[in-house]
Amino acid sequence: MTNKVKVLIADDLAPGAADIFKNRGIEVDFKVGLKKDELIKIIGEYDGLAVRSACKPDKDVIAAGTKLKVIGRAGIGVDNVDVKAATAKGVIVMNTPFGNAITTAEHAIAMMFSAARQIPSASQRTIAGEWPKKDYIGVELFAKTLGLIGAGNIGSIVADRALGLKMKVVAYDPFLTADRATQIGVEKVELDELLARADVITLHTPLTEQTKNILSAENIAKTKKGVILINCARGGLADEAAVRAGLESGHIGAAAFDVFLEEPAKTNVLFGAPNFIATPHLGASTVEAQDNVAFQVAEQMADYLLTGAVSNALNTPSVTAEEAPKLKPFVALAEKLGQFAGQVADGGLSEVEIEYEGAVAQLNRKPLTSAALAGMLRPFLAEVNMVSAPAILQERGGSLKESINEASPVYDSLIRIKVKVEGKWRSVAGAIVGGKPRIVEVKGMALEADFQPFMVFVNNSDKPGFIGAMAGLLGDGHVNIATFNLGREAAGGDAIAIVGVDQDVPAKTLEAIETLPQVRYVKVLKF
């Protein structure tokens, strides 16, 4: 039996990817073409799964991956990965958004030229012995307006190449800022304006509920007569039947698609349409791109499995290799504080506030917040994890607010979590003391308490006799006290006690403590 980290490469990745894993001390198996039941049978052995587009890790595969920590997609699109199921199980899903960006952009430009001059058809007929010169009156791209739907990594490269051809470029992208638009030399417009102005439209956006059929029959009707459509992004972004109708009517001058709603596309409504060009999903198919995405995903997966560094993840915050060791103790602190807050909230998590003070405020706080939320939700949802927690809080209608303060009056770094319960706020704060997570404040009252597996939390009035009475009841219940920490607002006022004990507290003992006249609230917290 080995405890070494193991990765399965389940798609045809460049051989160098396996070498990257091996050189970093990770065991790797290369098994391509596995059927679903075959994959399910073996996936429980592996910590990581590397795929391209053929292997489809769905919810059943992910559920069977009892050790699975990360799925790496060598490429951009993750349509073949059930990201929702992975998120729920705490499996990180990574892609490689930059490795094939140039290759895909170049293919889009090539398709644009091919469509403008109908090069494939002209070539085929010429080789067949025809000389159909009069049948191919193309259009110049010079001075034409290119409409980009999506102006991310690939879209911006396409824009750069189009500007080099002296085209004017307009772009629709909800995430494109005015500054970024200026930087890449495009005009940011709304979708309807792009449809009305563009001579050529090229798609460079992921397939989501918002982008599905973004080139619908209705939107195609808004385009210029003779418009050229290019899709080297994802099948389903354009209504294929509507594109066919537009080609046949002459409203669409030409279309060139590298991707289709159903792949492999052995048949398609577009096949045989006039002025239509198809390629079999070749956008990323160059030697350079294949190598780049394979090597990149292997490095990313190895970094995560060996150091905790997260890059290009779709369902969790990124953490660099340099950040990971700095964040580790604070992740542990945030998670334990979240557990404390969740347990005292008793199910009411309508509002959550997390405050970062001191040096921790300058760190990458997203993983800390994720850890805090995971700890907070775990008392109610056993399967919650750092990856799924933010989404679950949002789904349940909970609000989250973060704040930072570069100054921390007492500790170098402090994390404070506040939860609103029935209109009242409850808070707990902690710090790293001597390298260990420690509670340093509850309800604004200062104290210091190490986390214990079992802790009795009591909110009480500061009156004589409480400590002795409570200790006596714990003794009567055969519960051994490990630590006893106290805090109070002022003499005789509101107070708290956090008692670390060596075992769980019997229900009768807890009920007896509740009856003490000084006690307002008592609960056993488990960590």
Q: What is the residue-wise DSSP string for 111-141?
A: HHHHHHHTHHHHHHHHHTT---GGG------
Any idea where the domains of the chain sit in the sequence? Answer: 6-97+289-307, 101-278, 317-451, 452-527
Using 50, 70 and 90 to split pLDDT, how confident is the model at 1?
very low
204 labelled catalytic: no
Q: Which one of 3.90.1150.10, 3.30.590.10, 3.60.150.10, 3.30.1330.90 gives the CATH number of domain 317-451?
A: 3.30.1330.90
Which pLDDT score is estimated for 441? Answer: 95
Q: What is the pLDDT of residues 238-268, one digit of tens each?
A: 999 999 999 999 999 999 999 999 999 999 9
Whose structure tokens read 């791109």? 289
The proportion of the chain whose per-residue pLDDT surpasses 70, expressed as a percent, equals: 98
Identity of the residue numbered 94 = M
Give the Å distances, CA to CA, from 424 to 345, 350, 420, 427, 521: 10, 11, 5, 10, 14
All residues at 6 or more sequence positions from 106 whose CB lies less than 8 Å from its CB, including other chains: 161
Quick one: DSSP state of residue 313?
B
Whose structure tokens read 């986390």? 451
Which pLDDT score is estimated for 382? Answer: 60
Q: For residues 111 and 117, what is the distance between their CA atoms, to the nearest angstrom?
A: 10
Lookup: tokens for 475:
């003794």
Mean pLDDT of 260-285: 95
281 labelled catalytic: yes
Displacement of CA 390 from its chain's centroid (Å): 10
Residue 34 has pLDDT above 70, yes or no: yes
Reference 282, options 290, 273, 271; nearest CA is 290
Q: Which one of 3.20.20.140, 3.40.718.10, 3.40.50.10860, 3.40.50.720 gives the CATH number of domain 6-97+289-307?
A: 3.40.50.720
- Neighbour count for residue 175 (Cβ, 10 Å): 9
Quick one: DSSP state of residue 26?
-
Residue 347 has pLDDT above 80, yes or no: no
Using 50, 70 and 90 to split pLDDT, how confident is the model at 321?
confident
Which pLDDT score is estimated for 50? Answer: 97
Of the listed 73, 107, 234, 438, which one is catalytic?
234
Using 50, 70 and 90 to split pLDDT, how confident is the model at 408?
confident
Lookup: tokens for 137:
């009156």
Which pLDDT score is estimated for 399? Answer: 86
Which pLDDT score is estimated for 145? Answer: 98
All residues at 6 or more sequence positions from 248 whose CB lies less than 8 Å from its CB, including other chains: 273, 274
Give the Å distances, CA to CA, from 373 to 370, 393, 453, 461: 5, 8, 19, 30
pTM here is 0.62
Identity of the residue numbered 184 = I
Residue 88 has pLDDT above 90, yes or no: no
Max Cα–Cα distance, the chain, nearest Å: 107
Q: For residues 412 and 429, what is the distance between their CA atoms, to the nearest angstrom?
A: 13
Which pLDDT score is estimated for 383? Answer: 64
Per the model's pLDDT, the better-predicted residue between 395 and 468 turns out to be 468
Residue 327 has pLDDT above 70, yes or no: yes
Which pLDDT score is estimated for 519? Answer: 94
Which pLDDT score is estimated for 216? Answer: 98
Of the listed 140, 248, 263, 514, which one is catalytic?
263
All residues at 6 or more sequence positions from 364 whose CB lies less than 8 Å from its CB, including other chains: 317, 318, 319, 320, 323, 327
Reply yes or no: is the peptide bond before residue 264 cis, omega within 30 of 0. yes
Lookup: tokens for 334:
């945030």
Sheet holding 6-9, edge to edge: 27-30, 6-9, 48-51, 70-73, 92-94
Which pLDDT score is estimated for 60? Answer: 97
Q: For residues 125 and 405, what is the distance between their CA atoms, to the nearest angstrom?
A: 71
Of the listed 107, 281, 365, 438, which one is catalytic?
281
Identity of the residue numbered 402 = E
SS3 252: strand
Q: What is the pLDDT of residues 124-134, one digit of tens each?
A: 999 999 999 99
Residue 78 φ/ψ region, left for φ over 0, alpha for ψ in the -120 to 50 degree band, beta for the rest: alpha
Lookup: tokens for 106:
């170049």
Q: For residues 130 and 82, what is the distance between their CA atoms, to the nearest angstrom?
A: 50
Quick one: DSSP state of residue 43?
G
**6-97+289-307 and 101-278 share one fold:** yes
Residue 12 has pLDDT above 70, yes or no: yes
Q: Which one of 3.30.720.120, 3.50.50.60, 3.40.50.720, 3.90.226.10 gives the CATH number of domain 101-278?
A: 3.40.50.720
Sign of the Cα torsion 506, 509, 515, 516 reads negative
Residue 316 has pLDDT above 70, yes or no: yes
Mean pLDDT of 197-222: 94
Q: For residues 302 and 310, what is the distance between their CA atoms, to the nearest angstrom?
A: 10
Q: For residues 385 and 508, what is the distance between their CA atoms, to the nearest angstrom?
A: 33
Residue 201 φ/ψ region, left for φ over 0, alpha for ψ in the -120 to 50 degree band, beta for the rest: beta
Helix (H) or strand (E) holding 402, with range, is strand 399-405
Reference 36, options 14, 4, 10; nearest CA is 10
All residues at 6 or more sequence positions from 198 whose CB lies less than 8 Å from its CB, including other chains: 145, 146, 147, 170, 223, 224, 227
Q: What is the pLDDT of residues 134-183, one digit of tens each?
A: 999 999 999 999 999 999 889 999 999 999 999 999 999 988 888 899 99
Averaged pLDDT score across all residues of the chain: 92
The residue ranges of DSSP E strands in 158-260, in sequence order, are 168-172, 187-188, 200-203, 227-231, 252-257
CATH superfamily of 452-527: ACT domain (3.30.70.260)
Mean pLDDT of 382-398: 76
Q: Do 233 and 203 contact (CB within 8 A), yes or no?
A: yes
Q: Whats the size of the chain, residue-wise?
A: 527
- Neighbour count for residue 228 (Cβ, 10 Å): 25
Q: For residues 251 and 231, what is the distance between their CA atoms, to the nearest angstrom?
A: 17
- For the chain, the first-to-last Cα distance in angstroms comes to 30
